[in-house]
């Protein structure tokens, strides 16, 4: 993991001091809420329906066990004993008192964490593949360039007041686990025909009311050039992105209005002007950051690991959990465990302080003290020996996080919705909970196979419903909560946007409607190995429409 040096500590400390000063001015009445608003929004502090919410950055979803313990302590001390992991690999606390925020930030700083740029119209926390450094299919560890971008984007002198928020995601592997094409900039680490490592750059993707799959604007960018190229993109956007209408201010609209070819031309014209400015990192600094992500000392283990094979044979529940929740590791004898924060009937992404402490302890004992957050609101123990998977599974069972449902129908993404969010049209969490209960039966879940349900409480699409195989969108219909269903979205390397299937459903009917969609898939799939999304792409919307609305 990256470890702060004295400069990183200084920047973080000075930020805490600055924001504490601003909070003090607010509490003393020197700043009105109107004046304070833009300041708090630069620090991830939102005023929600019932209280302040603080969003803490987890850069590229990587945490040490020490940091997880601290997040747990904060949940206990400053919140109602819970934290909520988000689709941007961050954590949110929903019940924060303003006068305690300075202390909270100081505690975060003590473990090299912060809430910088988790809101506001700036470059937000960079997200990356949760299996960075351990996935066998990766070209290079995406955390290296992510950390480089984190530092470069922190309080950027030119790009801290953009037309709108700006999100960058990185994948190091051709299999996209970071949904890069739904980001303002998506970076894929690639190798060119000469064997050199560089970046494919996608620009202008996004969710919200205008979902767009980002076009590729550069197939290969040499590694050393990434920061100058990002500056070129950001400068074109900062100067020419729309500022008259917040719904048209994201870079996707600029790319669409100019057309990807003209947008690319402008970026490529700006880039050579920026290259000599010294923004690209010197090789020594790149090497310094890279060294922090050198592989840890793994043991040499021969596969198959007898005890692991035996445990799977003996215990069907364990074998099933392994099949969904353990991802292959690039080192023989290891696995990467996804901890499901989606227990049946639970709130997606929530963890109590006790659960977080237990997970941090598991990381210390079994996973080289590392934890990751996924954009699907789960946690990962990236480095578990296969011989110890059974013990990990048992301990997860003790804290209620051993559900064998990763990638399945109950591994639901849901935004906070009307339970917390001031912008919501409808509740999301209760719908997720009801769906989870409806599909609780594990045999049925495994029979259904890979299926992603994503729920947003309004068109802002924080629950990524556009990218859900089944997307659910809360709408307001004459003061009533209604839910629309979209089908066929995908957030991976085959990115696509879900299509609205027909009129919405009332709260009491939405679960039954989703059940019908699933039953239709089971009836039409060509075999048990044809997944929901494959079947949908083969047959289209017609059979689903018919089962939901009858023949018309």
Partner 1 sequence: MAVVDRNGPLKDAWTRIGEDAPAPKGASVIVSLARLKNEHNSLFSAAGAVGVEVASDVDLADLEPFLARLGVIVVRMATMRDGRVFSTGRLLRERYGYAADLRAVGDFIPDQVLFLLRCGFTSFEVGEKFPVESLKQSVAAYSVWYQKATDRAKSVVELRGENSSRGAPKGSSS
User: Residue numbers of the site for ligand SF4 (CB under 6 A)?
Assistant: 415-417, 421, 423-424, 456-458, 460-463
At its nearest, how many Å lie between partner 1 and the CB of residue 293?
Answer: 8
| Residues 118, 234: Cα–Cα separation, whole Å | 18
| Block residue for tokens 């819970």 | 82
| 121 lies in the site for partner 1, by CB under 8 A | yes
Least distance CB 44 / partner 1 (angstroms): 16
**C-alpha 406: how far from its chain's center?**
15
CB of 465 to ligand SF4, least distance (A): 8
Interaction with partner 1 in 153-172: which residues (CB under 8 A)? Answer: 154-163
Is 133 in contact with 180 (CB distance < 8 Å)? Answer: no
Give CA–CA dist 63/241, Å, rounded.
34
In sign, the C-alpha dihedral spanning 170, 3, 136, 534 is: negative
Indicate the residue among 190 and 203 with the shorter CB distance to partner 1: 203
Binding at 10: pick from partner 1, ligand SF4, none (beta carbon under 5-8 Å per type): partner 1
Q: CB of 162: closest distance to partner 1 in angstroms?
A: 6
Smallest gap from Cβ 427 to ligand SF4, in A, equals: 9
Q: Which of 279, 319, 475, 522 binds partner 1 (CB under 8 A)?
A: 279
Our finding on whether 278 is near partner 1 (CB under 8 A) is: yes
Q: Quick check: helix, strand or coil at residue 511?
A: helix
Is residue 247 a contact point for partner 1 (CB under 8 A)?
Answer: no
The minimum distance between CB 86 and partner 1, in angstroms, equals 24
Residue 332's Cβ-count burial label (10 Å; 0-12, 13-18, 19+) is middle
> How many residues belong to the site for partner 1 (CB under 8 A)?
47
Any idea how long the chain is?
A: 552
44-52, 287-295, 433-441, 504-512 -> range binding partner 1 (CB under 8 A): 287-295
Under DSSP, is residue 407 helix (H, G, I), strand (E, B) or coil? coil
Instruction: Identify which of residues 15 and 464 has a Cβ nearer to partner 1 in the complex.
Output: 15
DSSP state of 382: E
State yes or no: residue 282 binds partner 1 (CB under 8 A).
yes
Beta bridge partners of 352: 82
Are 543 and 524 contacting, i.e. CB atoms less than 8 angstroms apart?
yes
Q: In the bound complex, what is the minimum distance in angstroms from residue 428's beta carbon to ligand SF4?
A: 6
- Contact between 291 and partner 1 by CB under 8 A: the answer reads yes
Distance of CA 236 to the CA centre of its chain: 26
- Using CB distances below 5 to 8 A depending on partner kind, what does residue 479 bind out of ligand SF4, partner 1, none? none
**Closer residue to ligand SF4, CB minimum distance, 198 or 205:** 205
Cβ-based nearer residue to partner 1, 331 or 475: 331
Q: How far is the CB of 163 from partner 1 (least distance, A)?
A: 7
Beta partners for residue 500, in sequence order: 486
User: Distance between CA 470 and CA 532 in Å, rounded?
Assistant: 9
> Does the footprint of partner 1 cover residue 239 (CB under 8 A)?
yes
Residue 423 near which of ligand SF4, partner 1, none (CB within 5-8 Å, type-dependent): ligand SF4
The whole-angstrom separation of Cα 87 and Cα 283 is: 33
Name the helix (H) or strand (E) containing 170: strand 168-171
Phi, psi (5° rounding) for residue 286? -60, -45
The angle formed by the CA atoms of residues 540, 546 and 550, to the nearest 5 degrees, is 165
Give yes or no for a contact between 73 and 103, defined as CB atoms under 8 angstroms apart.
Answer: no
- In the complex, what is the shortest distance from the CB of residue 460 to ligand SF4, in angstroms, rounded to a whole number? 4
Partner in contact with 295, chosen from partner 1, ligand SF4, none, beta carbon below 5 to 8 Å by kind: none
For 37, residues 6+ apart whose C-beta sits below 8 A from its C-beta are: 47
Instruction: Output 277 or 447, the one with its CB closest to partner 1.
Output: 277
Identify the helix (H) or strand (E) that includes residue 261: helix 260-274
Least CB distance to ligand SF4 at residue 450 (A): 24
Query: CB 414 → ligand SF4: shortest distance, Å?
Result: 8
Q: Which of ligand SF4, partner 1, none does residue 509 bind to, with CB < 5 to 8 Å depending on kind?
A: none
The rounded distance, in Å, linking the Cα atoms of 349 and 241 is 34
Which range, of 12-20, 216-224, 312-320, 412-420, touches partner 1 by CB under 8 A?
12-20
Relative to beta strand 379-385, strand 370-373 is antiparallel
DSSP for 225-260 reads GHHHHHHHHHHHHHHHS--S-GGG-SHHHHHHHH-H
Q: Which stretch binds partner 1 (CB under 8 A): 77-85, 210-218, 237-245, 532-540?
A: 237-245
Contacts to partner 1 by CB under 8 A: 1, 3-5, 7-8, 10-11, 14-15, 17-18, 21-22, 35, 38-39, 121, 151-152, 154-163, 235, 238-239, 243, 273, 277-279, 281-282, 284-285, 288, 291-292, 294, 296
């Amino acid at each position: 993991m990256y470890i702060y040096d004295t400069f990183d500590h200084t920047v973080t400390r000075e930020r805490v001091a600055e924001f504490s000063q601003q909070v003090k001015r607010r509490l003393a009445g020197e700043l009105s809420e109107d004046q304070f608003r833009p300041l708090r929004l630069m620090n991830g502090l939102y005023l929600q329906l019932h209280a302040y919410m603080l969003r803490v950055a987890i850069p590229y979803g990587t945490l040490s066990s020490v940091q997880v313990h601290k997040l747990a302590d904060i949940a206990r001390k400053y919140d109602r004993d819970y934290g909520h992991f988000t689709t941007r690999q961050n954590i949110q606390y929903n019940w924060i008192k303003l006068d305690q925020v300075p202390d909270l930030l100081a505690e975060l700083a003590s473990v090299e964490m912060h809430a910088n740029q988790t809101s506001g119209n700036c470059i937000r926390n960079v997200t990356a593949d949760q299996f960075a450094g351990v996935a066998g299919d990766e070209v290079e560890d995406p955390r290296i360039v992510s950390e480089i971008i984190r530092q470069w984007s922190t309080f950027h002198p030119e790009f801290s007041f953009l037309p709108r928020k700006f999100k960058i995601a990185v994948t190091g592997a051709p299999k996209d686990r970071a949904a890069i094409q739904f980001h303002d900039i998506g970076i894929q680490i690639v190798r060119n025909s000469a064997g050199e490592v560089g970046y494919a750059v996608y620009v202008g993707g996004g969710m919200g009311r205008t979902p767009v799959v980002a076009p590729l604007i550069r197939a290969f960018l040499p590694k050393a050039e990434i920061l100058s190229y990002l500056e070129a993109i950001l400068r074109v956007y900062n100067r020419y992105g729309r500022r008259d209408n917040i719904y048209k201010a994201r870079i996707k609209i600029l790319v669409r209005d100019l057309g990807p070819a003209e947008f690319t031309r402008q970026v490529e014209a700006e880039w050579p002007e920026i290259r000599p400015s010294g923004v690209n990192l010197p090789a020594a600094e790149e090497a310094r950051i890279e060294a922090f992500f050198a592989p840890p000392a793994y043991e040499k283990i021969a596969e198959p690991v007898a005890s692991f094979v035996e445990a799977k044979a003996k215990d069907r529940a364990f074998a099933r959990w392994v099949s969904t929740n353990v991802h292959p590791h690039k080192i023989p004898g290891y696995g990467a465990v996804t901890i499901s924060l989606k227990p049946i009937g639970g709130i997606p992404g929530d963890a109590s302080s006790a659960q977080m402490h237990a997970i941090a302890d598991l990381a210390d004992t079994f996973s080289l003290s590392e934890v990751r957050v996924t954009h699907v609101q789960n946690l990962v123990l990236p480095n578990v020996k296969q011989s110890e998977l059974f013990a990990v599974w048992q301990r997860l069972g003790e804290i209620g996080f051993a559900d064998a449902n990763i990638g399945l129908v109950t591994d639901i993404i849901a935004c906070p919705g009307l339970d917390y969010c001031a912008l919501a049209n409808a509740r999301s969490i209760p719908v997720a909970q009801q769906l989870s209960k409806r599909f609780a039966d594990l045999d049925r879940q495994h029979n259904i196979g890979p299926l992603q349900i994503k729920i947003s409480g309004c068109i802002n699409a924080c629950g990524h419903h556009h990218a859900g195989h089944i997307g659910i969108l809360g709408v307001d219909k004459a003061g009533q909560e209604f839910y629309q269903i979209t089908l066929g979205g995908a957030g991976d390397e085959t990115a696509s946007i879900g299509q609205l299937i027909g009129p919405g459903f009332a709260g009491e009917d939405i679960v039954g409607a989703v059940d019908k969609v699933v039953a239709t898939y089971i009836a039409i799939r060509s075999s048990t190995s044809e997944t929901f999304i494959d079947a949908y792409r083969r047959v289209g919307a017609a059979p689903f429409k018919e089962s939901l609305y009858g023949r018309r």
